[in-house]
Amino acid sequence: MRRSTLIRTGLSTLLLAGTWAAAGAVPAAQAAPAPAAGAKATAKAPASAGLISAMQKDLGLTKSQATARLAADKKATAVQSKARGAAGTSYAGAWIAKPGGTLTVAITSEKKAAAVRATGASVKLVQHTARQLDAVKDRIDKLSAPAGVSSWRVDPATNRVVVDVVASQKNDNDVQSFVSRALKTGPVTVENVAARPATKAAGTVGGDPWYTGNVRCSIGFSVNGGFVSAGHCGQPGASVSGWDGSYIGNIQGSTFPGNDYSWVNVGSGWWTVPVVLGWGTVSDQLVRGSAAAPVGAAICRSGSTSHWHCGNVQATNVTVNYAQGAVYSMTQTSVCVEAGDSGGSYISGDQAQGVTSGGSGDCTSGGESFFQPINPILSHYGLTLQTSA
């Protein structure tokens, strides 16, 4: 299904499809917003001018600060895997302590410090390894969590597992019982949050981009033969239609809760491209890989309701306690989300990060959000991310 749009020179071979498979499509009965002029991402530039402008707006940065931040985050991402290898079994997590700073790697053995520093990372000595903290979190995952418990995650900076409790329900008997059991599993800290996260699907409200039944969600990333999105948007076998109501394909796989991801095959005149829609706020972003950004890195999101927003990676390996059940191994960010953004794209520079699951708050008052990392989705379904050379 071809649709009418204005396409910037240089992306024309990539942006011809009705399926904007790495992000939400433009609203039905509305042409795509023209990409920002002169905003082509190149090998020399860390990102398009539009993306840098969005980071300036959402993160309160100057242009030079945004450019430096992207370069520093890219370097930290490259250092992360080398440092983990150098740390070996002593590895206890990694994060960017200061925006635009170097990667900090926690280790339990001082003997590994020199090797880790040689990769370009700084070192922090801690008591518990990442494997030990993950085991604590796994034990909490086996507990039945009440509605007043928001989420729990491994926090490498404090070398503990953090349990988030809704402040207004912290004195609830069930919440206190859960916290008591969680504290017995190992090094655990309890923190208060304002609200419990919710998934961000929505009924059809005259927007876009993909629909199944009366649910609207957002496309995540193109894969060979289709796209990936959120699992809570629909069940396997369900028919999927695009921004203009025409048939795209069917949900080939879907899981929620436990995980929150799905994939949809694409056919019937639709095809896929390695692009995240910028919604006129930034130029449409090419996807060139899926290297996972570390905690502290800048990250941006595209969704069919609230469009384009940026923030920071706050935590990885987070368990989110939705009303429908817990979802594991999520990444937490400071990026806002709204209903209908579910399934949409998280991208750091030109690297795909994951698909929107849910969050709390909105893009007026602010909030936090959670995404399902892209690489486990690809591995689970045996899919290949579509990328631009």
Question: Catalytic residue at 380?
Answer: no
Please name which of 144, 132, 129 lies closest in space to residue 186, comparing C-alpha atoms: 132
Choice among 232, 284, 309, 348 that is catalytic: 232
Choice among 260, 284, 341, 350 that is catalytic: 260
Quote the tokens at residue 368. Answer: 């936090």
Are residues 299 and 313 in contact, defined by beta-carbon separation less than 8 angstroms? Answer: yes
Packed helices 63-87 and 49-59: angle between N→C axes, nearest 10 degrees: 90
Choice among 90, 306, 334, 342 that is catalytic: 342
Please name which of 280, 285, 380, 247 lies closest in space to residue 27, comparing C-alpha atoms: 280
Omega prior to 257 cis, within 30 of 0? yes
Is it true that 1-86+194-389 and 135-193 share their CATH fold? Answer: no
Q: Which residues contact 9 (CB under 8 A, 6 or more apart)?
A: none
Please name which of 130, 129, 108, 112 lies closest in space to residue 121, comparing C-alpha atoms: 112
Domain boundaries, the chain: 1-86+194-389, 135-193
For residue 327, the cross-strand partners are: 258, 320
Please name which of 72, 32, 102 lies closest in space to residue 349, comparing C-alpha atoms: 72
Question: Catalytic residue at 284?
Answer: no
pLDDT tens sequence for the chain (389 residues): 433 222 222 332 222 222 233 333 222 222 233 333 333 444 455 667 778 888 898 899 999 999 999 999 999 999 999 999 999 999 999 999 998 899 999 999 999 999 999 999 999 999 999 999 999 999 999 999 999 999 999 999 999 999 999 999 999 999 999 999 999 999 999 999 988 888 766 543 222 579 998 899 999 999 999 999 999 999 999 999 988 888 989 999 999 999 999 999 988 788 888 888 888 788 788 899 999 999 999 999 999 999 999 999 999 999 999 999 999 999 999 999 999 999 999 999 999 999 999 999 999 988 899 999 999 999 999 999 999 86
Domain covering 135-193 in this structure, CATH number: 3.30.300.50
Burial of residue 316 (CB within 10 Å: 0-12, 13-18, 19+) is buried
Domain covering 1-86+194-389 in this structure, CATH number: 2.40.10.10
